[in-house]
Amino acid sequence: MSESAISKLVAYRKTLARTRLHADALEVLESGLRAADPEFSVRKAIARSGSRVCISDECFAVQDRRVHVVGFGKAGQGMSLGCESALEDLISGGVVIVPSIDPARVPRRIELVEGNHPIPGEKTLTASRRLISYVEENVGDGDVVIVLISGGGSALFEIPYPPLTLDEVAATTNLLMKAGADIIELNTVRKHLSLVKGGRLLEFLGRSHRVFSLIISDVVGDPVEFIASGPTEADSTTYRDAYEVLQRRDVWNSTPSSVRELILSGLSGKIPDTPKPGHPILSRVTNVVVSSNAISLLEMEKKARELGYKATVLTSMMVGEAREVGRFLGGIARHVAKYKKPGEKIMLLLGGETTVTVRGRGIGGRNQELCVGFAVSVRGLANVVLVSAGSDGVDGNSPAAGGICDGYLVDEALRAGLDPHKYLSDNNTYVLLSTLGRAIVTGPTGTNVNDLVVLAVE
Q: Do the Cβ atoms of 105 and 127 come closer than 8 Å?
A: no
Distance separating alpha carbons of residues 335 and 337, to the nearest angstrom = 6
Q: Say if residue 217 is in the same domain as residue 355.
A: no
Closest by CA to 188, choosing from 147, 233, 246, is 246
In the chain, how many domains are there?
2
CA torsion angle 334 360 174 246 (round to 10):
60
pLDDT for res 182: 86
pLDDT for res 177: 87
Distance separating alpha carbons of residues 125 and 50, to the nearest angstrom = 38
pLDDT for res 142: 86
- Summarised one tens digit per residue, pLDDT across range 256-297 is 999 999 999 999 999 999 999 999 999 999 999 999 999 999
Q: How many helices (H) and strands (E) does the chain have?
A: 16, 15
Distance separating alpha carbons of residues 118 and 370, to the nearest angstrom = 24
Q: Say if residue 357 is in the same domain as residue 409.
A: yes
Count of positions (residues) in the chain: 458
pLDDT for res 118: 84
pLDDT for res 444: 86
SS3 160: strand
Say which residues have a Cβ less than 8 Å from residue 39's Cβ, sequence separation at least 6.
Answer: 78, 79, 81, 82, 85
Distance separating alpha carbons of residues 424 and 378, to the nearest angstrom = 15
Q: How far from 160 is each of 100, 184, 295, CA to CA, in Å?
A: 22, 19, 34
pLDDT for res 265: 98
Distance separating alpha carbons of residues 187 and 224, to the nearest angstrom = 12
Q: Say if residue 308 is in the same domain as residue 421.
A: yes
Query: Which ranges of the chain have pLDDT less than 70?
Result: 1-12
Q: How far from 448 is each of 103, 155, 288, 346, 410, CA to CA, in Å?
A: 21, 15, 16, 27, 31
Q: Say if residue 335 is in the same domain as residue 373.
A: yes
Q: Say if residue 126 is in the same domain as residue 231.
A: yes
Q: Does residue 98 belong to any structural domain of this protein?
A: yes
Residue 116 has a CB neighbour count (10 Å cut-off) of 21
- Summarised one tens digit per residue, pLDDT across range 384-416 is 999 999 999 999 999 999 999 999 999 999 999
Residue 361 has a CB neighbour count (10 Å cut-off) of 8
Distance separating alpha carbons of residues 242 and 263, to the nearest angstrom = 8
Domain that holds residue 364: 3-35+294-457
pLDDT for res 7: 64
Q: Does residue 176 belong to any structural domain of this protein?
A: no
What angle, rounded to 10 degrees, do the helices at 183-191 and 166-178 form? 160
Q: pTM, whole model, 2 decimals? A: 0.90
pLDDT for res 237: 97
Q: Does residue 414 belong to any structural domain of this protein?
A: yes
- Sign, CA dihedral 86-92-95-100, equals positive
Q: Does residue 108 belong to any structural domain of this protein?
A: yes
DSSP string covering 276-290, please?
PTT-GGGGGEEEEEE
Q: Say if residue 327 is in the same domain as residue 411.
A: yes
- Summarised one tens digit per residue, pLDDT across range 220-254 is 999 999 999 999 999 999 999 999 999 999 999 99
Q: Say if residue 121 is in the same domain as residue 203.
A: yes
Distance separating alpha carbons of residues 216 and 77, to the nearest angstrom = 13
Q: Does residue 185 belong to any structural domain of this protein?
A: no
* Cross-strand pairs, 67: 91, 144
Q: Does residue 74 belong to any structural domain of this protein?
A: yes
What angle, rounded to 10 degrees, do the helices at 257-267 and 166-178 form? 90
pLDDT for res 3: 56
- Nearest 5°: phi and psi at 152? 95, -10
Q: Where are the alpha helices (DSSP H) in 192-283?
A: 239-248, 257-267
The CATH number given to whatever domain includes residue 76 is 3.40.50.10180
Q: Say if residue 23 is in the same domain as residue 85.
A: no
Q: Say if residue 212 is in the same domain as residue 124.
A: yes
Domain end, chosen from 291, 321, 336, is at 291
Q: Say if residue 282 is in the same domain as residue 355.
A: no
- Cα separation of the two ends of the chain: 31
Q: Say if residue 334 is in the same domain as residue 409.
A: yes
Say which residues have a Cβ less than 8 Å from residue 268's Cβ, sequence separation at least 6.
Answer: none
User: How does strand 210-216 pair with strand 285-291?
Assistant: parallel
Q: Do the Cβ atoms of 305 and 313 come closer than 8 Å?
A: no
- Sign, CA dihedral 402-407-408-414, equals positive
Q: Does residue 261 belong to any structural domain of this protein?
A: no
Q: Say if residue 427 is in the same domain as residue 326.
A: yes
pLDDT for res 56: 84
The CATH number given to whatever domain includes residue 413 is 3.40.1480.10
Q: Does residue 423 belong to any structural domain of this protein?
A: yes
